[in-house]
């Protein structure tokens, strides 16, 4: 009689290991939690090991988690903030530079004559006061060349105001070319009158500048057939030079150059007259510097 063989129990090695690991973990957890006395643990040695190891692991994990969190915060928060700050800073620098350039352009526009591209009357007054005080402090001479286009009203009446404006621009260009030193200022004084302010320049130097203006205008030979002087554009020039004093008005230099300009026109135009001496009235009293003829 045949008997049935009993089925053999097959245990998967991997499953056995998993069960063992779970048992160890459960036993350690219960021991740590105080739910099972250490002596009653199924695996006392494992329980003791886990009792000492797990807190260390937890402490180490907390430290690693903290450090990882800091690194994560730096990577995800601080670095983008730093990049955004740098981008904002660069944008602010560009905006500041743009504003400075715009401000400088506005200042230049406010200080220059819109038609001629040279300094206007207000800028001339500002620089005159500045250079006067500087020359008085440094005991250096200050010179002024006052230029007037001869018979300019005849030019306008004959050729029109547009041609008159073109003539003014050409004369201004000649003056800029003649006054090549960085410290010299070419400005429109009013109408067809222009000036060259020359720091650290005596009367001889200013007279040479005036002669240079005459020569350069002759080279350009700007046509003016209707001129009663000659058939080209000419100028009359008054030149003055002073050693400034703080108690003397800076416009004395202008008045003195204007005397020379008036004399140049009276003498037939297209020439320069330098006024070497000073006629000064200060506070209603005649100054001891009155040495001009007729004073």
SS3 256: helix
What's the CA gap between 87 and 292, in Å, rounded? 68
Tokens read off for 173: 């260009």
Q: Which residues are catalytic?
A: 192
Tokens read off for 212: 């240079």
The residue length of the chain stands at 295
Q: How many CB atoms lie within 10 A of CB 197?
A: 25
* Whether 223 contacts 231, CB under 8 Å: yes
Alpha helices, DSSP H, located in the chain: 13-32, 44-73, 79-111, 121-138, 152-159, 161-178, 203-220, 251-266
CA distances from 28 to 18, 42, 106, 197 (A): 15, 10, 82, 100
Tokens read off for 171: 């004369």
SS3 53: helix
For residue 200, give every residue at least 6 positions away whose Cβ sits within 8 Å of its Cβ, in sequence order, or none: 135, 140, 141, 142, 183
Backbone angles phi and psi of 149, in degrees to 5? -75, 125
């Amino acid at each position: 009689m045949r008997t049935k063989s009993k089925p053999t129990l097959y245990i998967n090695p991997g499953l056995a290991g998993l069960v063992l690991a779970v048992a160890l973990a459960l036993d350690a957890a219960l021991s740590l939690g105080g739910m099972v006395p250490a002596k009653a643990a199924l695996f006392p040695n494992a329980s003791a090991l886990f009792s000492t190891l797990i807190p260390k692991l937890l402490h180490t994990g907390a430290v690693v988690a903290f450090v990882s969190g800091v690194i994560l915060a730096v990577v995800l928060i601080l670095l983008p903030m730093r990049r955004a700050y740098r981008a904002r800073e660069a944008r602010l620098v560009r905006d500041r530079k743009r504003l400075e350039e715009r401000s400088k352009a506005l200042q230049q526009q406010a200080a220059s004559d819109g038609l001629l591209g040279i300094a206007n009357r207000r800028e001339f007054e500002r620089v005159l006061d500045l250079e006067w005080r500087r020359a008085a402090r440094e005991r250096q001479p200050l010179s002024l060349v006052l230029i007037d286009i001869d018979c300019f009203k005849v030019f306008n009446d004959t050729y029109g105001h547009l041609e008159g404006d073109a003539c003014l621009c050409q004369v201004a260009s000649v003056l800029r070319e003649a006054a090549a030193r960085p410290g010299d200022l070419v400005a429109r004084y009013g109408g067809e009158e222009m000036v060259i302010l020359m720091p650290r320049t005596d009367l001889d130097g200013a007279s040479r500048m005036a002669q240079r203006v005459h020569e350069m205008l002759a080279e350009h030979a700007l046509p003016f057939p209707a001129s009663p002087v000659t058939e080209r554009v000419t100028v009359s020039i008054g030149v003055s030079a002073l050693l400034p004093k703080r108690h003397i008005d800076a416009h004395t230099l202008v008045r003195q150059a204007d005397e020379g300009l008036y004399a140049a026109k009276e003498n037939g135009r297209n020439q320069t007259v330098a006024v070497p001496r000073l006629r000064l009235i200060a506070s209603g009293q005649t100054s001891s510097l009155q040495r001009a003829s007729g004073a």
